[in-house]
Structure 1
Amino acid sequence: MSNTTTDIGEFEENTGEPEHRTRSRIWQGIFWVALIGFLLIAPALLYPVFVMQLLCFALFAAAFNLLIGFTGLLSFGHAAFFGGAAYIAGHALKVWGFPPLLGIATGTLFAAALGWAVGSLAIRRQGIYFAMITLALAQIVYFLVLQLPFTGGEDGLQGIPRGHLLGFIDLNQPLAMYYTVAAIFLIGFLVIYRIIHSPFGQVLQAIRENEPRALSLGYNVDRFKLLAFVLSAALAGLAGSTKALVFQFASLTDAHWQMSGEVILMTLLGGMGTIFGPVVGSFIVVALQHALSGIGSWVQVVIGGTFIACVLLFRRGIVGELARLLKINSL
């Protein structure tokens, strides 16, 4: 296996001249410092609930990018994992009386299991057929969320308690809740970063670039795809479970197909296949939604126009184009 890992070195993200690799590490370090600095000072500058929403969607977009940007699989049904986990976590917290971390873990595990079930069926096909299968299965999940008695139907699951973290940290306090969400986001994002830069991540990128060659090198392509799908679903579920805890509410919007479209928009806007692109894209979309909330449904027109402009001007996404201008391999 070590020989074949060497053979796919051309797909490695940091392939290139030493100076390019060094420059990439420097700029990635700058982005990490900026991100952590933002997490630390954000409550003093912005409304904490707004920032928590940003972080939940940023983690959701980064999880989706792991699948489309680094594996080459386009899912139109990721809202099923995001919304499904929100409902399961909310039910575990409200009805079963689980503590916050256990409730979030329950939603995440549910999303992973659902990801395995959906992925096992979807990876049998490629391209648009794969995308349509994920959309169809996600619509089944949406129908179940609408009809099952414990979800609250069109009213959603309301009154989810935040509880106490580790038994003594009151999450009803805004700052305590914020830094808990920030820690969850940072852990989830670090997991994605580690996956991308691991040998497993390099195999995923090899599959994205040239699946027949990866198959010829002896890799079980379907197994790698399924594992990537499950990991992406689990991390999307982590984001959805956290959002349910933050807003103490799980709604049909979380599981609707439009949510899958929004996460695609966030990823493409920031830069598909980049590390920090989905975070930047999600920040832009959520910020626009909040800033333009007063104009009603016209906000979608503005966001759509912004997306079209970015696609025309920044074909690699905002972060992708920035990396090109800086002449670095990845960002």
Structure 2
Amino acid sequence: MNKRIGYGLVLALALAAPFFGYPVFLMKLLCFALFACAFNLLIGFTGLLSFGHAAFFGSAGYVTGHLLATSGLPFELGILAGVAASSLLGLAIGALAIRRQGIYFSMITLALAQMVYFAALRSPYTHGEDGLQGVPRGRLFGAIDLSNDLTLYYVVLAIVVAGFALIVRVVHSPFGQVLKAIKENEPRAISLGYDADRYKLLAFVLSSALTGLAGATKTVVLGFETLTDVHWTMSGLVVLMTLVGGMGTMAGPIIGAFLIVALENKLGEFGTWLADKSGVAWFSTLGESVGMVTGLIFIVCVLLFRRGIVGELGALFARGARNRKVAGANMAIDTEREAA
């Protein structure tokens, strides 16, 4: 019940957000939040650390952008084409990578993702280092004009909410319980008759499809697609978002994505404001030190908040509830002794 109230409050806040903030920036936040949630489905609930999710994020953006710009496909078909491309790519990479475990799995995903990056760099359809420019937003179902930022915001919000709802449903389904069992003790899950490789492959493909949905949507929102989205640093960025927010939690990746993206986009403005208020000119250079600041945040989280922001808050509340319960039980025992 409390979770439903929380989800309702967050949804109400999201519905009102474009009236108080820049819609395009908010849509970018939503796309990266879905990206982080999709990645968390793999690492947080299946125990697979992929360093190749940028391949799915960027490839879906390229496919969607190219089709919308050259073929005149409607918005929804362009998005579906991007999701289909990332799903097929996820199936191919996953089928090879799940043959190994641990760091070997991670390195295989990284190597294959780098192959995708160099393919995007050389392909004439992606325009190399220039990237795809001028991707049209088009119309939704041929009727709703998406050129208006406010209209597109609510469409993107609906996509992200649907993707998040799918992740929640998967995690709490019997399929999700098997994934958790594989994460906790894979040999035991195999001994119970579960085909661990098949379950991991399905989780990998589902994660890549949702990642593609985020990437395709972001391309439409911003109107361009570049090599940045398919580079290995994007895979590292989503790992950072998930770990900072809280791996294995529902809200953690969303908070982590909001924090990291906000830092990347607003740190320069914040530094300028600090420089004006304090008179210290060094603060104005903060915008050029985003990598250093995010690195420091990662170090602090690893040292002090190993379960991430949401994980540590959840543990704190659970510990408080447990202490209150123990205190209540002790008080009841003392009362009974006094009455006796």
TM-score by length of 1: 0.90
Amino acid at match of 1:308: I
Residue 138 of structure 1 pairs with residue 113 of structure 2: yes
Are 1:257 and 2:223 an aligned pair? no
Is 2:316 the counterpart of 1:325? yes
Q: Is 1:230 paired with 2:205?
A: yes
Counterpart of 1:235, as a letter, is L
* Larger relative contact order, structure 1 or 2 (CA cutoff 8 Å, min sep 6): 1
1:30 is displaced (CA, Å) by 3.5
After superposition, residues 201-212 of structure 1 pair within 5 angstroms as 201-212=176-187
What TM-score results when the alignment is normalised by the length of structure 2? 0.87
Residue in 1 aligned with 2:52? 77
Structure 2 distance, partners of 1:322, 1:268, is 14
- For each residue in 1:215-249, what CA deviation from the matched residue of structure 2 results, as whole angstroms up to 9, or x when unmatched? 00000000000000000000000000000000010
1:61 to 36, 39, 51: 36
Question: Secondary structure of 1:56's partner?
Answer: helix
For residues 145-184 of structure 1, the aligned pairs below 5 Å read: 145-184=120-159
Aligned mate of 1:221, from 196, 212, 237 = 196
SS at match of 2:125: helix
The structural deviation recorded for 1:92 is 1.2
1:115 matched to 2:106? The reply is no
Alpha-carbon deviation of 1:296? 3.9
Q: Deviations over 1:104-134 (max 9, x none)?
A: 0000010000000000000000000000000
1:168-209 deviation line (CA, Å, top 9, x unaligned): 211110111100110000000000010000000000000000
Segments of 5+ residues of structure 2 without an aligned counterpart are 270-285, 320-340
In structure 2, how many angstroms separate the alpha carbons of the residues matched to 1:182 and 1:136? 33
CA distance in structure 2 between the partners assigned to 1:30 and 1:68 by the alignment: 27
Q: Give the aligned residue type for 2:100.
A: R
Percent identity, aligned pairs only, is: 62
SS in 2 for 1:149: coil
Contiguous gaps of at least 5 residues in structure 1 = 1-24
After superposition, the C-alpha distances for 1:276-315 in whole angstroms (9 at most, x for unaligned) are 1100100000111111135343111111111211222211
User: What is residue 247 of structure 2 aligned with on the other side?
Assistant: 272
Whole-Å Cα distance in 2 between the matches of residues 276 and 223 of structure 1?
27
Distance in structure 1 (CA, Å) of the matches to 2:65 and 2:82: 8
Q: How many residues align?
A: 303
Distance 2:256 2:171 in 1: 19
Q: Show the counterpart of 2:161.
A: 186
How far apart, CA to CA, are the structure 2 residues paired with 1:237 and 1:201?
21
CA RMSD of superposed structures (Å): 1.1
Separation of aligned partners in 1, 2:158 and 2:113: 29
1:243 to 218, 224, 236: 218
Letter in 2 for 1:312: L
Take 1:210 and 1:55, find their aligned partners in 2: how far apart are those partners? 33
What is the rounded CA distance, in whole Å, between the counterparts of 2:5 and 2:258 in structure 1? 18
Detail structure 1 runs of 4+ shifted over 3 Å in the superposition.
Answer: 293-297
Among 31, 39, 60, the alignment partner of 2:6 is 31
The equivalent residue for 1:43 is 18
Q: Secondary structure at the match of 1:106?
A: helix
Bigger-Rg structure (1/2): 2
1:305 equivalent in alignment to 2:296: yes
In structure 1, the residue corresponding to 2:306 is in which secondary structure?
A: coil
Give the drift of 1:53: 0.4
Aligned mates of 2:143, 2:192 — CA distance in 1: 53
| Distance (Å, rounded) in 2 between the aligned partners of 1:315 and 1:125 | 26
Write out per-residue CA displacement over residues 124-150 of structure 1, whole angstroms, 9 at most, x where no aligned residue: 000000000000000000000000001
